[in-house]
Amino acid sequence: MNFVNQNIKPLNTKINEMGNLEISGCDLVELAKKYSTPLYVMDKITLEQMATDYKEAFSSYKNTRMMYASKALMTSTVASIFYKLGFGFDVVSLGEMYILKNAGIDFSHATFNGNNKGREELVYALENNIARVSVDNFYELELLNEIALQKGKIQKILLRITPGIECHTHEYIQTGQLDSKFGFDLHMIDEAVTLIKEKYKNLDLRGLHAHIGSQIFETQVFEDEIEVLLKEIKRIKDKFNIELDEINIGGGLGITYIKSDTPPDVYKIADIIINAIKKYANLYELNEPVLYIEPGRSLVATAGVTLYTIGSSKDIQGIRKYISVDGGMADNPRPSMYNAEYFAEIANKKDDYKPETVTVAGKFCESGDILIKDIELNSPKAGDILCVYDTGAYCYSMSSNYNGVLKPAMVLINNGKSDIIVRRQTLEQLIQNDVIV
C-alpha cells in the first residue's frame, strides 16, 4: 500500500472516456481550456487525505501540535483547509502572517520562524498575539525583548538550535548541519539561556526548536534529532533549574517526485518520533514534552500538478529533442535552482501510446530553463497539454515575473468541480508598483 507522499500522482487520477487525464472528476484538458495555461491545479481530496494521515499517525501522542509549514504553499484557501482540519501554522514572514489574517485564522495557532526577522514583522506578530516565536540568534533575542517590553507583553519563545545532524539531501535544503545560517550552535545555548533568565525578562523560554532539512528519506535522523533536543533540555534543567516542556522538530518528510524516490510513510516516521521521545524522556528523567511538528512539502506537493501547453520543438539529431512549454523557471524554479526532478505526462492522447524521449524546456531566456531532462512522453506535439506532477510545494510560493511573464492562476478541484483560488496576474497588476519619474 502506498500512502499519499509515496504516490507520484494525486488520488483519483485516471484516464477518462475521452482519453484524457482526469483528477477528482475534473478533465485536465478541459481545465486548461477553461482557465488557460500555465495553470496550478490543487486537489482538495489529496490535500485532506495527507493531512488526515498526519493527524492519525501522531494521534497516540496526545501532546502533538501539527503546524503547517506555510512557506511550501500559502494561499487563503489552503490555509483555511488546513485550519479546519486542526492544523496550526509555521510562518516565516509578514506576508505569510497577513495571509493568515486574511483567512480569518487566529495567531494563537501560529509560530514565527526565520533567521533574520525584521522589527516590523516582530511588532506585527506580537500585536496579533502570536503563540510562539522561534528565536534564531542573539540579535533577535534583544530585539524581541525590546518590542515585548514596549508592548507590555511576555512573549513565549523557543530557541532554534543547530543540532549538527546532516541528512542526505541537496545542500540547499539542509538546515541542521553545523555550517548553517540557522539557529544557535550548541555551544551558544548557555549564553542565550543566561540572557533570557537574567536580562530579557519579557521573554518566556518554553522549549527548543531544530530542523534538519527537507525531502528526507532517512529515518534514523529523526531519532538523532530528538536525542539532541532532549539531552540539551536535560542539561539546561541541571544547570539552570529550568525544565523546558516543548520541542519543535521541524518537518522534512520526503515525497515521491520520480519513480526511483523511496520516502518512508508518515506512520513509520510517527512511530520513530514518538518512540524516541518516550525513550529519551525516560533516559534523561524528563516529562514527555509537547511536540510541535511542521510538515510542508509532504502535505501539499502530491496534491498539486501544473498544466502547460506545448509549443515549439527542436530536434538535434543524435543528441536531444527539445519541446518547449508556455511556462518554466518563473512558475517552477526548482529544477534550475537545485536540479529537482519531476515526472510528467501528456494529458490528452492517452489511448494511443507512442513513446518518445524528449527534454522539456521552459520559455524563459536562460539556457538553464529546463523543467525535465530526457523524459519519455506520448508523441508530444504543439497544442498538447503537459501535466507535471508534484508541483504543489515550492512552485507558486517561489514564482516570479522573470521576463515580465505573468504569474499563473491556481484552481482547487474537488469531486468534479473547479474553483479559482488564485487569479491569474494581469498586465495592469504587473506594473501597478512601477513609477515613472
Grid cell of 361 as nine digits: 524546456
For 283, the enclosing helix (H) or strand (E) is helix 266-283
In contact, 302 and 6? CB cutoff 8 Å: no
Q: Tell me whether residue 167 is one of the annotated catalytic residues.
A: no
C-alpha 119/C-alpha 9 separation (Å) is 42
Give me the catalytic one of 26, 167, 365, 395.
Answer: 365
Other beta carbons less than 10 A from residue 353's beta carbon: 11
Which residue in 385, 387, 417, 347 sits closest to 44, CA to CA? Answer: 417
Other beta carbons less than 10 A from residue 256's beta carbon: 23
C-alpha 209/C-alpha 286 separation (Å) is 17
In contact, 293 and 307? CB cutoff 8 Å: no
Grid cell of 414 as nine digits: 474537488
For 54, the enclosing helix (H) or strand (E) is helix 44-57
Grid cell of 18 as nine digits: 475521452
Characterize 311-344 residue by residue with b for buried, 16 or more Cβ atoms within 10 angstroms of its Cβ, and e for exposed: eeeeeeeeeeeebbbbbbbbbbbbbbeeebebbb
Could you list the active site residues? Answer: 365
